[in-house]
């Protein structure tokens, strides 16, 4: 759906975005992460056509952005980091103006404004001047204008920035809903946001794409967690199973002894789990817990965003 190839952008001598390539399919919600100044906003501005790239191409459904900016922009919704909403305008007037900018005409315009007002739950504020709205409501106005005209591609820069926990939950539900019909890229500093919404993550570091991976793949590890009544000395047989590399005792679990089993990289974890469970049953011992150990994404993201871990190292660890 969206294809970005070798995108680069300089500000004077500063290389803000350096040879970034990725593609995103329809229906995906992809998180764009990185420290302050990593290049996220510059990437989003180039994809949305607000900023020219020095090099590289952006295509949406195989249509080139540079050659057909108007066609692409009609299919695109953009929520910038700093909302350019006009404080003196009412919500209704602003959405009418935004619909005109998107080229929506007459009846379609009316229907679309109704739809986005309902989706963002703004009907009670239609006649309120934007200046009088809370941060959360202003953010919803920003999202409402972004989803006018059913964009195929939605780009959201820090969509929950400054929202309280309840508003954040509402905004996430709204984004999930929108993603049923669109491709969504969202930039955020908040790991929980990525975990709550995204199926995939792109991490930018120093203008370069440092990681492009599915969250499920990143979460996987080569370890099983085991909690049982058996002591370490009773588990020798487990360490001898062909798919097991090693076994470590962890701090005591809630009810029994807790262990981490390191499996071979190519191991079949469900089959191995069954063997371990069978062994424990054969010893008439208690099995309290046996599950794959999930990697801590927050630590992983920090390592990649600071350059402490490379894409290859992350993939090797997840293999």
Ligand X SMILES: Nc1ncnc2c1ncn2[C@@H]1O[C@H](COP(=O)(O)OP(=O)(O)OP(=O)(O)O)[C@@H](O)[C@H]1O
| Interacting residue ranges for ligand X, rule: CB under 6 A | 11, 14, 16, 34, 36-42, 81
CB of 17 to ligand X, least distance (A): 7
Residue pair 199/26 in contact by the 8 Å Cβ criterion: no
Q: Strands 76-79 and 2-11, how do they pair?
A: unpaired
What residues contact 284, with CB distance under 8 A and at least 6 apart?
none
Closest to 259 in 3D by CA, of 244, 271, 278: 244
The smaller minimum CB distance to ligand X, of residues 41 and 168, is found at 41
CB of 316 to ligand X, least distance (A): 27
Token pair for 123: 């009907």
CB of 16 to ligand X, least distance (A): 3
CB of 80 to ligand X, least distance (A): 11
Residue 116, judged by CB atoms within 10 A of its CB (0-12, 13-18, 19+), counts as buried
Token pair for 304: 């990649």
The smaller minimum CB distance to ligand X, of residues 154 and 203, is found at 203
Residue pair 254/198 in contact by the 8 Å Cβ criterion: no
Please, what's the b/e burial string for 181-201 (b: 16 or more CB within 10 A of its CB; e: otherwise)? ebbbbbbbeebebbebbbebb
The CA distance from 220 to 317, in Å, is 9
CB of 204 to ligand X, least distance (A): 6
Instruction: Transcribe 252-291 into DSSP letters.
Output: --SSSEEEEEEEPTT--HHHHHHHHHHHHHHTT--EEEEE
The smaller minimum CB distance to ligand X, of residues 38 and 98, is found at 38
The smaller minimum CB distance to ligand X, of residues 10 and 74, is found at 10
The smaller minimum CB distance to ligand X, of residues 31 and 149, is found at 31
Please, what's the b/e burial string for 205-217 (b: 16 or more CB within 10 A of its CB; e: otherwise)? bbbbbbbbbeeee
The smaller minimum CB distance to ligand X, of residues 37 and 265, is found at 37
CB of 71 to ligand X, least distance (A): 25
The smaller minimum CB distance to ligand X, of residues 158 and 227, is found at 158
The CA distance from 43 to 305, in Å, is 16
The smaller minimum CB distance to ligand X, of residues 40 and 152, is found at 40
CB of 208 to ligand X, least distance (A): 12
CB of 14 to ligand X, least distance (A): 6
């Amino acid at each position: 759906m969206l294809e970005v190839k070798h995108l680069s952008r300089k500000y004077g001598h500063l290389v803000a975005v350096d040879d970034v390539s990725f593609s995103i399919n329809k229906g995906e919600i992809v998180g764009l992460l990185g420290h302050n100044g990593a290049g996220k906003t510059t990437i989003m501005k180039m994809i949305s056509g607000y900023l020219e790239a020095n090099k590289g191409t952006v295509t949406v459904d195989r249509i080139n952005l540079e050659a057909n900016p108007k066609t692409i922009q009609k299919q695109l919704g953009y929520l910038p980091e700093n909302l350019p909403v006009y404080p003196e305008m009412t919500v209704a007037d602003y959405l009418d103006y935004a619909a005109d900018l998107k080229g929506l005409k007459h009846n379609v315009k009316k229907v679309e404004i109704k739809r986005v007002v309902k989706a963002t739950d703004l009907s009670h504020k239609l006649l309120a001047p934007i200046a009088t709205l809370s941060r959360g409501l202003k953010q919803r106005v920003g999202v409402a204008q972004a989803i006018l005209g059913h964009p195929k591609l939605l780009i959201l820069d820090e969509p929950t920035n400054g929202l309280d926990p309840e508003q954040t939950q509402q905004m996430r539900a709204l984004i999930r809903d929108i993603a049923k019909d669109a491709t969504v890229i969202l930039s955020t500093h908040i790991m929980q946001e990525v975990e709550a919404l995204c199926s995939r993550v792109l991490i930018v570091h120093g203008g370069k794409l440092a990681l492009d991976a599915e969250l499920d793949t990143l979460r996987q590890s080569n370890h099983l967690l085991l909690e049982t009544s058996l002591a370490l000395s009773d588990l020798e047989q487990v360490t001898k199973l062909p798919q097991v590399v090693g076994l470590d005792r962890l701090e005591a679990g809630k009810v029994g002894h807790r262990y981490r089993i390191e499996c071979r990289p190519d191991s079949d974890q469900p089959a191995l789990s069954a063997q371990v469970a069978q062994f424990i049953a054969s010893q008439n011992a208690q099995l309290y817990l046996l599950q794959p150990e999930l990697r801590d994404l927050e630590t992983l993201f920090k390592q990649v965003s600071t350059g402490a871990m490379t894409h290859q190292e992350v993939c090797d660890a997840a293999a």
